[in-house]
Structure 1
């Protein structure tokens, strides 16, 4: 794999990761609980690790080519985002409040958000292939796919950890602002979940 391709993918991937979405909403909410930032980010990255494994094994193409399976995945992911967003709106996190879940549940929620997100799967299908080298003198395609997937996971870890830490640092002494930001994050989860659900069902 050529270094120019890696740099081009890194630039594009960072741009995509820096666009706020469900991952941002979750890590901001988790960031207000301080010690849970790393668990939330680890969960999100674990979800993308699943996408990487699927893509490297060639299963991602199979999922994308099955409308029923992709619809089921989309509905599950959208439903989970709706449930989680509603929970955040009902009980917005603020600095100093009691923990609502242990670290393992924070991790699992993050993994579910990114792992069930069909947009993540499509990212691996539409973006990664453009940076693969198919000539025989390069690494096998599964190895290249895994390398790009690991690079994407590293970008996610760096960006989301920064977002979570900054959310905690800037809002720790501002409970009212923290509550407002958390509610905005919950509303974003609801909006993204509803959009995914409507978008997918409209294609049936």
Structure 2
């Protein structure tokens, strides 16, 4: 793999991982509601592992080239974000750093699956893998293209996991002794999820409505 291309990818991938968005919102909100933020971060990374597998298998490009299928994926992602955001908004008053031991295992599994859904169903994540990673793959490199794609994809997974862990640790450190601020951040996280879900939904429904009005 070309070292210069790989270094350039690291810079771009790190910048994207450090950009606040729904992943950040979910990490912070889950960390405030659960005893541990690890299931949330692991779930988000699991979704990007799924994107990596699709990319290596060549399915990501196929899905991206099918507007109808991508549209349905976008609608599913929008609905999921709305559901997740509404759930966060409903629980913001009870944001804390503890959870009953009896329900810890089930809660952690649910948090992991929700995190995986957050990044895995997000069509923008799929398009990121399809549009960006191929720009840093060289056909002249010693490694086959699928191997390069897989390595770059997993590199982003590692970077995202590192950034989300730092975000979760900082948020817990800053908010653990400030329950009022913790509730406010949880509320803001829910609003971000709902807003992004609404934007994704609008991107799909508005053109459809406009075409039928005309």
TM-score bucket of the superposed structures, by smaller chain: over 0.9
Query: Is contact 1:33-1:168 (8 Å) kept?
Result: no
Assess if the C-alpha contact under 8 Å between 2:35 and 2:98 holds in 1. no
Matched ranges for 1:1-204 at <5 A? 1-33=1-33, 35-92=35-92, 93-96=94-97, 98=99, 102-135=107-140, 137-204=141-208
Post-superposition Cα deviations, 1:106-157, rounded to whole Å, max 9, x if no partner, equal 000000000000000000111101100012x521110000000010000110
* Greater share of residues in helix: 2
Cα distance, 1:95 vs. partner?
Answer: 2.2
Closer/same/farther in 2, CA of residues 133 and 25 from structure 1, 3 Å limit: same
| C-alpha distance in structure 1 between counterparts of 2:139 and 2:64, whole Å | 21
Tell me the TM-score normalised to structure 2 length: 0.90
What is the CA-CA distance between 1:36 and the residue it aligns to? 2.5
**Please, which runs of 5 or more residues in structure 1 have no aligned partner?**
none
Deviations 1:44-94 (A, max 9, x none): 000000000000110001101111110111011110000110111111152
- Unpaired runs of at least 5, structure 2: 209-214
Offset, 1:34: 5.6
Aligned residues: CA RMSD: 1.5
Largest Rg, 1 or 2: 2
